[in-house]
Amino acid sequence: MDIEQIQTAARIINQGGLVAFPTETVYGLGANALNPLAVAKIFELKERPSFDPLIVHIASIGDLNTLTDNVGRNVIRLAEKFWPGPLTIVLPKSKLVPDIVTSGLNTVGIRMPDNDIALKLIMAANCPIAAPSANKFGKLSPVSAEHVKKQLPNVDYVLDGGHTSVGIESTIVSIEGNVSTLLRPGIITLADIENALPNMFIFNAAKPRKLIAPGLLKSHYSPLKPLYILDNQVFHFSESSGLIVHGRKDLILPESKIIYTSQSYNQLEIAANLFSALHIMEDDECIKQIFIEPVAEVGLGVAIMDRIKKAAYKYQQKTNY
Contacts of 176 (CB under 8 A, 6+ apart): 92
Residue 25: name its binding partner from ligand TXA, Mg ion, none (Cβ under 5 to 8 Å by kind).
ligand TXA
- Distance from C-alpha of 200 to C-alpha of 198, rounded to nearest angstrom: 6
Residue 171 near Mg ion by CB under 5 A: no
Cα–Cα nearest to 74, from 155, 5, 174: 174
CB of 85 to Mg ion, least distance (A): 18
Least distance from Mg ion to the Cβ atom of residue 169, Å: 6
Q: Rule CB under 6 A: choose which of 13, 25, 83, 276 binds ligand TXA.
A: 25
Is the CB of 122 or the CB of 197 nearer to ligand TXA?
122
Pick from 13, 79, 90, 274 the residue near ligand TXA by CB under 6 A: 90
98 binds, among Mg ion, ligand TXA, none (CB under 5 to 8 A by kind): none
Of 243 and 278, the one with the shorter C-beta distance to ligand TXA is 278
| Burial of 46 per CB tally in 10 Å (0-12, 13-18, 19+) | buried
Q: What is the 3-state secondary structure (H, E, C) of 214-262?
A: HHHCCCCCECCCCEEECCCCCCCCCCCEEEEECCCCCCCCCCCEEEECC
CA distances from 215 to 32, 71, 154, 172 (A): 22, 25, 24, 10
Task: Choose the one of ligand TXA, Mg ion, none that binds residue 23, judging by a C-beta under 5 to 8 angstroms depending on kind.
Answer: ligand TXA
Site for ligand TXA, residues 156 to 195, rule: CB under 6 A: 169-170, 172, 183
Partners of 313 in the beta sheet?
none
Q: Which is nearer to ligand TXA, 158 or 213 (CB)?
A: 213
Residues 97-136 that bind ligand TXA (CB under 6 A): 102, 105, 107-109, 113, 131-133
Using CB under 5 A as the binding rule, whether residue 133 contacts Mg ion is answered as yes
Cis link prior to 198 (omega < 30° from 0)? no
State the burial class of residue 178 (Cβ atoms within 10 Å of its Cβ: 0-12, 13-18, 19+).
Answer: exposed
**Considering only residues 17, 23, 34, 148, which one is a binding residue for ligand TXA as defined by CB under 6 A?**
23
Helix H or strand E segment including 184: strand 179-184
Q: Which of residues 28-47 bind ligand TXA (CB under 6 A)?
A: 28
- Of residues 215 through 254, those in contact with ligand TXA by CB under 6 A are 215
**162 or 238: whose CB is closer to ligand TXA?**
162
The DSSP H or E segment spanning 175 is strand 171-176
Residue 276 near ligand TXA by CB under 6 A: no
The region of 3-11, 131-139, 183-191, 227-235 touching Mg ion under the rule CB under 5 A is 131-139
Q: Should residue 289 be labelled a site residue for ligand TXA when binding is judged by CB under 6 A?
A: no
Q: Is 281 helix (H, G, I), strand (E, B) or coil?
A: helix
Give the count of residues interacting with ligand TXA (CB under 6 A).
28
| Neighbour order of strands in the sheet with 179-184 | 157-158, 19-21, 28-32, 129-130, 55-57, 107-111, 87-92, 171-176, 179-184, 201-204
Residue type (1 letter), 247:
G
Rounded to a whole number of angstroms, the minimum distance from the CB of residue 201 to Mg ion is 28
Contact 3, 14 (CB under 8 A): no
Question: If you ran DSSP here, which 8-state letter would residue 63 be given?
Answer: G
Least spacing, CB of residue 165 vs ligand TXA, in Å: 12
By beta carbon distance, the residue nearest Mg ion is 133
Which chain residues interact with Mg ion by CB under 5 A? Answer: 133
Which chain residues interact with ligand TXA by CB under 6 A? Answer: 23, 25-26, 28, 52-55, 86, 88, 90, 102, 105, 107-109, 113, 131-133, 169-170, 172, 183, 212-215
